[in-house]
Homo-oligomer: A and B are copies of this chain.
C-alpha cells in the first residue's frame, strides 16, 4: 500500500506531526557510497524555504541512517532513513477536526480510516512525506550514475506557473489575487539504454505514472508530445530512426515506444494543481453540525506547491528507473570497490 518497486523496493512512512517521516529501501546494491552530505542539496531544494511563494516551515531535514550502511557504504541490507519532526506546532487540531479543509484529504481520510487517522496537519497524507521520496531519490540518482558507462541524469524543471512561462509572473498572479496557483513541471532523463520496460503492464509509462501520482497534488502526466498528440497526424507524430543507435530525428514519443525506452531522451510533464490551502475564504461542511461553514486557512502555506515539485519528481523518476535498470541487469548487485 505504501510500497513501490520490484528489485529496488521502497516503503515510506510517517506523519506530519508525528515522531518522524522516513523511508526504507530494500534491494539497493551493496557498495554505494552514501553520506549525509549527499542528501543535503536535494533536501534543501525540497524545502524551498527561501523561494518566494513557499512555506517557511523549517526542519533541519538531516537524514538519520538507521540501518543498511556501514563504513559509509550500502551493505546490501535494507536501508532505513528517518527525518525527525521538530518544528511541529501543537495547534488546535481538535477544534478544527470536524471541518474538513476544502481540497484536502481530511474528509476521505476520516471515512477510510474510521476516525482513527492522525489528523494533525494532514497526518500521513501530508506533503511532508515527500521528504521520504526525495531521500529515496538521492540514493537512486547515485545508483544511476554508477550503473552504466554513460551516467543516467534526471533533471526536472518548472515549465509554467499559472499558465505563464515565467514562473515569477505566474506566482505574481497568485500574490495579486491573494490565492494559490498551479503549474507544470517537466522531467528529462538522458543516458538511458534501449530496452527498459515491458510491453504492457510494466511499460515505462506505467511505472513512471504509477510513481508520479504518489506525489501529492499531481493531476496529469503526459509523455513526449502528450495530449498534443491527440491532434496530430501519424506522419507528423512518428519519429524517424536515423542511425543504428536508435536516435530519432524528432522525439514526439518522448523516448518510449511500445512501453520500452528507445535510447532517446525521456521526456514527460506533469500538471500540479494549485495548493489547496488558499488564503481565500471558502465553504465546507462541518460534519458534526452538518452545516456548511466558511473556512479560511491559518498560518503560512505555499502559494504554489509546483515550485517545490521538481526535486520530488526527479526522485520518483530516479527510483523508478533504478528499479527498471536492475530488472534489465543494467546495474550490478555489487558495485565495484
Least Cβ–Cβ distance between A173 and chain B, in angstroms: 8
A254 and chain B: residue at smallest CB distance: B219
Indicate with 1 or 0, residue by residue over A1-39, a CB within 8 angstroms of chain B CB atoms.
Answer: 111101101111111001111101011001100000000
Q: Does A169 contact B (CB under 8 A)?
A: no
Q: Does A153 contact B (CB under 8 A)?
A: no
Q: Does A251 contact B (CB under 8 A)?
A: no
Task: Give chain B residues whose Cβ lies under 8 Å from the Cβ of A306.
Answer: 230
Least Cβ–Cβ distance between A16 and chain B, in angstroms: 11
Q: Does A150 contact B (CB under 8 A)?
A: no
This chain: copies in complex: 4
Inter-chain contact A205/B213, CB cutoff 8 Å? yes
Q: Does A163 contact B (CB under 8 A)?
A: yes
Least Cβ–Cβ distance between A273 and chain B, in angstroms: 4
User: CA A258 – CA B6 in complex, angstroms?
Assistant: 23
Q: Name which of A40-48, A50-58, A137-145, A176-184 contacts chain B.
A: A176-184
Q: Does A280 contact B (CB under 8 A)?
A: yes
Indicate with 1 or 0, residue by residue over A213-235, a CB within 8 angstroms of chain B CB atoms.
Answer: 11010111111111111111111
Number of interface residues of A (CB under 8 A): 150
Given A108-B260, A195-B112: A240 in contact with B283 (beta carbons within 8 A): yes
Interface residue from B206, B221, B258, B333 paired with A109 (Cβ < 8 Å): B258
Inter-chain contact A206/B209, CB cutoff 8 Å? yes
Interface residue from B80, B201, B282, B337 paired with A1 (Cβ < 8 Å): B201
Inter-chain contact B15/A237, CB cutoff 8 Å? no
Inter-chain contact B113/A80, CB cutoff 8 Å? no
Inter-chain contact A199/B102, CB cutoff 8 Å? no
Least Cβ–Cβ distance between A322 and chain B, in angstroms: 15
Q: Does A274 contact B (CB under 8 A)?
A: yes
Inter-chain contact A116/B75, CB cutoff 8 Å? yes
Given A108-B257, A221-B221: A203 in contact with B213 (beta carbons within 8 A): yes
Q: Give the one of A117, A181, A201 with max B CB within 10 A.
A: A201
Inter-chain contact A244/B287, CB cutoff 8 Å? yes
Q: Does A211 contact B (CB under 8 A)?
A: yes
Least Cβ–Cβ distance between A302 and chain B, in angstroms: 10
Task: Give chain B residues whose Cβ lies under 8 Å from the Cβ of A20.
Answer: 66-67, 80
Least Cβ–Cβ distance between A274 and chain B, in angstroms: 4
User: CA A207 – CA B111 in complex, angstroms?
Assistant: 20
User: CA A150 – CA B74 in complex, angstroms?
Assistant: 30
Interface residue from B227, B234, B280 paired with A274 (Cβ < 8 Å): B234
User: CA A239 – CA B102 in complex, angstroms?
Assistant: 6
Those 4 A-B pairs whose CB atoms lie nearest each other, nearest first = A105-B258, A220-B222, A234-B278, A180-B234
Q: List 5 A-B contacts (CB under 8 A).
A: A13-B80, A73-B116, A75-B123, A77-B124, A234-B278
Contacts beyond the supplied A19-B65, A19-B67, A216-B258: 17 A-B pairs with Cβ under 8 Å: A3-B201, A11-B11, A14-B80, A75-B124, A77-B124, A108-B257, A125-B259, A206-B210, A213-B259, A220-B226, A221-B221, A226-B271, A228-B271, A234-B278, A237-B274, A252-B273, A329-B333
